[in-house]
Amino acid sequence: MEYSCQRMLEKDSEIGYLIRETQNNGTSLRKKINTLSFIYDAALTNTRHRRASVLTQVDNALIDLLYQIPRINEQAGDIVRVGWDYRGKLSKPETQDALLVIDAKDFPTGDEMLGEETLAAYLVQAHERGWDNFMVFNARGQKFIGTGFGMPKEKVSIDIFGDSGNYLGSGVQNTRVTVHGAAQDMAGQIMNGGLLVIHGDVGQTFMYSAKAGEAYVLGNAAGRPLINAVGSPRVVINGTCLDYLAESFMAGDPLNGGGFVILNGVKKTCEGLSELETPYPGGNLLSLASGGAIYVRDPHRKVSDDQLNGGILTNVTRKDWEIVYPYLKKNEDLFDITIDDLLSNKSFDQAYRKVVPVHNKVLE
């Protein structure tokens, strides 16, 4: 069965059919959760008037399914659930790939609740007991989710449903954080490795001072993403950002292991890709940067020199394309935004342009 958002547009009964088929198909609980998660992500690109209705139906079905997972003190297995009231029942996982599902509804959200009382700290405690795979649902803006793991020996994976709070994934290493929806301000700050996937938009100062790692954003970024980033962060933003993208970027030479941003300037809907009015609306692209690059999809040559402040537009070379292609391929795997659709029957050097810093230039 094809779980595409196009099917969800046909009629309301089709959505219900997809949900019922998933709930009653006889597969394991974990496979049902994965399938409903996939349907949820597909529904996020439904831009018609019934988008809220579609998301509500899928969200309710997913939460109902998650509440069928046995509590950690009731039954051992490869998937168990914990919540605030019985968080003290935490034990070691039965298997290395076991999934800990956390109901975040009653975990505190206020800044006054610090230390061991936070959801972020609880995730770290669970990891110290051997858990590597997490799913958080009913998130209500709890901050610093994904922070505090240090350098895990095994890769940590966290999926988040609900309202993820500020500072998501701060300083992560060897950790995959997936947000099924929008992320808030300061996501991925001082990121030092790992993978951040956002099935929506992301807030202010995304990946502030990041040093490494990969990030993929389905939608748009607000102001000042990757400000003061250094080292080798690799980022794909499929939409655009307000302004000051990669301000004071210090990420070396992307052709020699340095960092870069791919800015696609598109919006994904159930009908396909649509181009934004302009790939970049602001006036400070790669402002005051000394390293790194931005590969902007700009087949109609709408980005102009007066939008730069210390940068210069150049052509994308074959070597550039060999560097960025694997990241566009992973972006395709994550969001079903194909490279062919991005190229739109053009060559890579016609579809994309490269912005690099101008060295030895007095910046205004």
Contact 222, 202 (CB under 8 A): yes
Per-residue pLDDT at 131: 94
Please give the average pLDDT of every successive group of 10 residues along the chain, which has 364 residues.
49 63 73 85 67 79 91 79 91 91 91 71 93 96 92 86 94 94 96 95 97 97 96 97 95 95 92 91 93 97 92 96 98 95 96 86 36
The verdict on 217 and 352 lying in the same domain is yes
Is 84 part of any domain? no
The verdict on 214 and 345 lying in the same domain is yes
Is 11 part of any domain? yes
Among 126, 166, 171, CA closest to 142: 166
Is 80 part of any domain? no
The verdict on 213 and 351 lying in the same domain is yes
Domain assignment of residue 255, given as a range = 181-357
Is 257 part of any domain? yes
**Distance, CA of 2 to CA of 21 (rounded, Å):** 11
Per-residue pLDDT at 49: 47
Of 66, 82, 112, the one marking the end of a domain is 66
pTM: 0.92
Is 207 part of any domain? yes
Of 66, 95, 112, the one marking the end of a domain is 66
Integer angstrom CA distances of residue 14 from 32, 45, 51, 219: 18, 16, 14, 26
Number of domains in the chain: 2
Which residues 6+ apart lie within 8 Å of 184 measured at CB? 141, 163, 164, 165, 166, 168, 202, 203
Of 16, 45, 66, the one marking the end of a domain is 66
Is 205 part of any domain? yes
* Dihedral sign for Cα atoms in the order 169, 336, 134, 152: negative
User: In this structure, what CATH number is given to the domain that contains residue 260?
Assistant: 2.160.20.60
